[in-house]
A = this chain, B = another copy of it.
Amino acid sequence: MTTTTNQTINQTTDWNALDTEAFRLMVRAFFEQNYPAELRYPKTRLRWAEIKGWYMTLSNKGWVAPSWPQAHGGMGLSPEKLIAFIEEQERWGVGRAPDMGITMIGPLLIQYGSKEQQQKYLPKIIQGENIWCQGYSEPNAGSDLASLRTDAVEDGDDFIINGQKTWTTLAQDATHIFFLARTDKTVKKQEGISFLLADFTTPGITVRPIRNIAGHEEFCEVFFENVRVPKANLVGGLNQGWGIAKALLGFERIFLGSPKQSQYALSRVEAAAQALGLFGDQGFVDRYTQLQLDVADLSALYVRFVEQVKRGEKLGPDVSMLKVWAAETFSRLANLLVEITGGSGAVAGDIEVNGKKIDVLTSFYNARPATIYGGSSEIQRNILAASVLQLRS
- Name the residue among A281, A283, A285 with the largest chain B CB count within 10 angstroms: A283
**CB of A282 closer than 8 Å to a CB of B:** yes
Distance to closest chain B CB from A125 (angstroms)? 46
Interface residues in A255-300 by Cβ distance below 8 A to B read 281-283, 285-286
By a CB distance below 8 angstroms, the chain B residues around A283 are 282-283, 285-286
**A286 surroundings in chain B (CB, below 8 A):** 283, 286
* Distance in angstroms between the alpha carbons of A305 and B282 in the assembled complex: 38
Min Cβ gap A335→B in Å is 14
Instruction: Give min CB distance, A282 to chain B, whole Å.
Output: 4
Give CA–CA (A283, B283) in the complex, Å: 4
Chain B residues closer than 8 Å to A282, beta-carbon distance: 281-283
C-alpha gap A283/B282 in the complex (Å): 5
In chain A between 278 and 337, which residues have their CB closer than 8 angstroms to a CB of chain B? 281-283, 285-286
Query: What 0/1 readout, one digit per residue, does chain A (25-45) give for beta carbons within 8 Å of chain B?
Result: 000000000000000000000
CA of A282 to CA of B282 in the docked complex: distance in angstroms? 5
Q: Which residues of B contact A281 (CB under 8 A)?
A: 282
Q: Complex formed: what's the CA distance from A65 to B285 in Å?
A: 54
User: Which chain B positions have C-beta within 8 A of A285?
Assistant: 283
Q: How far is the CB of A287 from chain B (nearest CB, A)?
A: 8
Smallest CB gap from A285: residue in B: B283
Shortest beta-carbon distance, A77 to chain B, in Å?
A: 46
Cα of A285 to Cα of B286 in the assembled complex, Å: 11
- Cα distance, A281 to B281, chains bound together (Å): 9
> Shortest CB–CB separation between residue A146 and chain B, in angstroms?
22
CA distance A283 to B286 in the complex (A): 6
Cα–Cα distance between A285 and B282 once the two chains are bound (Å) = 10
Q: Of all chain B residues, which has the CB nearest A281?
A: B282
A72 CB to closest chain B CB, in angstroms? 51
Report the bound CA distance from A305 to B283 in whole Å: 35
A339 to chain B, nearest CB (A): 11
> A46 CB to closest chain B CB, in angstroms?
39
Nearest CB in chain B: distance from A355 CB, A: 25
Encode contact with B along A53-81: 1 for CB under 8 Å, 0 otherwise: 00000000000000000000000000000
Bound complex: CA A283 to CA B285 (Å): 8
7 CB contacts below 8 A, A to B, read A281-B282, A282-B282, A282-B283, A283-B283, A283-B285, A283-B286, A286-B286
Rank and list the top 7 A-B pairs by shortest CB-CB distance, nearest first.
Answer: A283-B286, A282-B283, A282-B282, A283-B283, A281-B282, A283-B285, A286-B286
